[in-house]
Amino acid sequence: MAIPARAAGLVLGYAADLAFADPRRGHPVAGFGQAASSLERACWADKRRRGAAYTGVLVGGVAALGWISQRATRGRPVAETAIVAVATWVVLGGRSLAVEGSLMAQMLENNDLPGARDRLGHLCARDATGLPANDLVRASVESLAENTSDAVVAPLLWGAVAGVPGLLGYRAANTLDAMVGYRSERYVRFGWASARLDDLLNLVPARVAAALTVAAAPMVGGRSADAWRIWRRDASRHPSPNAGVVEAASAGALGVTIGGSNTYDGSLEDRGTLGDGPAVVVADLSRSVRLSQVVGFGAMLVAVGVAVVRRGRG
């Protein structure tokens, strides 16, 4: 049986991300972010209803564009494969995550704390001012775990289920969550819909990412039983219903302890303590990068399987 066009596109897009990473200039996701910022300035109000409309217009508009593009390729397998591949490449961030994690490891190995603090913003939004090396390592390991789910596993699964609209719509929702989903004074109401939509879209992918992390634990010197145990025991300590799952599984797979208090936009937030091993050290960061890569590859295989099954049922 020939591989379905959607599955083939997911594989090619995943390979393109590994080969080329994100384009340095003119990235469509960056363009979407600029458009979202402009719309926010025009329509912001300290109201959930206004924020819900903002989210609906942006996510719905991008998903509709994906649907139109996909429909235009119906009945043309080569064209469908190509458009799924391009969309997959655009929304994935696996290669960039690995590069950023490796750069952080190199800077910390060279004791370049100022450079590492400046670089942390490429992985997460927490305040790096004055962070010591151990906190920079912890922030990087946590962000690699969460972003592997958000930027690799989830888009692949949504692409497998819904094709181009799933790929683009998911990335739009996840981007809005990063922009306005924080519980700051400005966004506590306006960003509520974006944050909740992102939580909903990641409920299943986060748990698939955690399961893949459990399976991948032996490949980074850990034990699957420990990853499973820490996931089940500690995930609920984290305030996020999805980040806690993948971060706890990652802590168990690496055999380390992560979590604690972080500063976002001047506000201190307790993220809970995950794991029961020693605190992370610089050497664990390279292991975390490897874990991210293995989980991403596993997600690609799962996504292909889902796409094949869905095509067979269709």
- Write down the domain spans for the chain: 5-313
Summarised one tens digit per residue, pLDDT across range 224-283 is 999 999 999 999 999 999 999 999 999 999 999 998 776 655 566 777 899 999 999 999
Per-residue pLDDT at 101: 96
Summarised one tens digit per residue, pLDDT across range 1-23 is 568 999 999 999 999 999 998 87
Per-residue pLDDT at 52: 97
How far is CA 190 from its chain centroid? Answer: 22
Per-residue pLDDT at 266: 57
Per-residue pLDDT at 87: 97
How far is CA 202 from its chain centroid? Answer: 9
Per-residue pLDDT at 184: 82
With contact defined as beta carbons under 8 Å apart, do 274 and 258 qualify?
yes
Per-residue pLDDT at 264: 59
Per-residue pLDDT at 257: 96
- Residues of the chain under the 50 pLDDT cut: none
In this structure, how many other beta carbons lie within 10 angstroms of the beta carbon of residue 153? 31
Distance CA 90, CA 84 (A): 10
